[in-house]
Amino acid sequence: MASKLIAIVAGVGPGTGAAVAKKFAASYPVVLLARNPDNFESLAEEINKSGGKAIGISTDISDSKSVKAAFGKIEDEFGVGVGAAAAVFNASGRFVRKPFLELTEDDFTAGLDVSGKGAFLFSQATLPLLLKGVDAGSKYPPSLIFTGATASIRGSALMSSFATGKFALRALSQSLAREFGPKGVHVSHAIIDGVIDIPRTKEWLKDAGPDAKISANGIADAYWNLHTQPRTTFTWEIDIRPCVEKW
């Protein structure tokens, strides 16, 4: 199986991660990483039943041993030397919104653990596979896509834990874009600016009309469009928001 390129999605949940996984599953076998198997089990089943291939691996993305074990399983499944066509980092730390002086050290570092160290571990694990994808002549330039947020470019009051992680993630993605673009890997960063329409947000923004929440499928389409850009035409950053969003 080593010749077939795969896609790897970290941070699979009911929103962006699942929509992205399904979108990419139409073209690639997909690996679903999440800490909690509840987040990928039914999704993997759905993909496998509908003619795609998906495996889920329970992974703590901010723990190097867990990440190493996950990529060992990927090799077990797809063969040593498997290459990747796409890797999407969609994980986020625990969201803590509190007066700054009430934050515990754990509260504060929750963002940096995932968006800093976790994104580092994911990038170090996936970039070798993406470079193999380049060598293997991937139809589209192998892509490493990071999911950011409003907090990637704005440090709002009470949001320091989330914003420090998201700023750091943006820095990482920009540095990697500059280092790995010339090697043929397309590194991108998406600023998701708004509420995503998922079961948990069903009751939110009900008075703001049918277009007030971001479609997870719309994000997945945008990521796919980034993925299919040729080497002469790479986009590093896009912002995404509902048409009615105030910004």
Collapsing DSSP to helix, strand or coil, 6 comes out as strand
- Judged by CB under 8 A, which stretch of 50-58, 74-82, 85-93, 117-125 contacts a second copy? 117-125
Name which of residues 6 to 45 contact a second copy (CB under 8 A): none
Q: Which is nearer to a second copy, 51 or 199 (CB)?
A: 199
Q: Is 175 in the site for a second copy (CB under 8 A)?
A: yes
15: DSSP letter: T
Contact 73, 43 (CB under 8 A): no
* Sheet-wide strand order for 186-192: 54-58, 30-34, 6-10, 84-89, 143-149, 186-192
- Judged by CB under 8 A, which stretch of 24-32, 42-50, 157-165, 199-207 contacts a second copy? 157-165
Report which of 169, 61, 164, 170 is spatially closest to residue 109, judged by C-alpha positions: 164
Report which of 163, 27, 161 is spatially closest to residue 96, judged by C-alpha positions: 161
| Minimum distance of a second copy from residue 11's CB (angstroms) | 18
Q: Is 240 in the site for a second copy (CB under 8 A)?
A: yes
Q: Is 79 in the site for a second copy (CB under 8 A)?
A: no
Q: Is 49 exposed, middle or buried (0-12, 13-18, 19+ CB in 10 A)?
A: exposed
Single residue of 14, 27, 46, 234 touching a second copy by CB under 8 A: 234
- Judged by CB under 8 A, which stretch of 5-13, 36-44, 80-88, 165-173 contacts a second copy? 165-173
Single residue of 58, 147, 150, 164 touching a second copy by CB under 8 A: 164
Q: How many CB atoms lie within 10 A of CB 112?
A: 20
| Minimum distance of a second copy from residue 38's CB (angstroms) | 26
Contact 169, 153 (CB under 8 A): no
Report d(CA 112, CA 94) in Å as an integer: 10
Collapsing DSSP to helix, strand or coil, 112 comes out as helix
Single residue of 182, 199, 203, 207 touching a second copy by CB under 8 A: 182
Single residue of 141, 143, 148, 149 touching a second copy by CB under 8 A: 141
Single residue of 121, 129, 144, 149 touching a second copy by CB under 8 A: 121
Single residue of 101, 137, 199, 203 touching a second copy by CB under 8 A: 101
Name which of residues 56 to 75 contact a second copy (CB under 8 A): 64
Q: Is the dihedral of CA 235, 87, 169, 211 positive or negative?
A: positive
- Judged by CB under 8 A, which stretch of 25-33, 50-58, 79-87, 102-110 contacts a second copy? 102-110
| Angle value at C-alpha 220, between 214 and 222, nearest 5 degrees | 85
Name which of residues 201 to 220 contact a second copy (CB under 8 A): 211, 213-215, 218-219
Q: Is 179 in the site for a second copy (CB under 8 A)?
A: yes
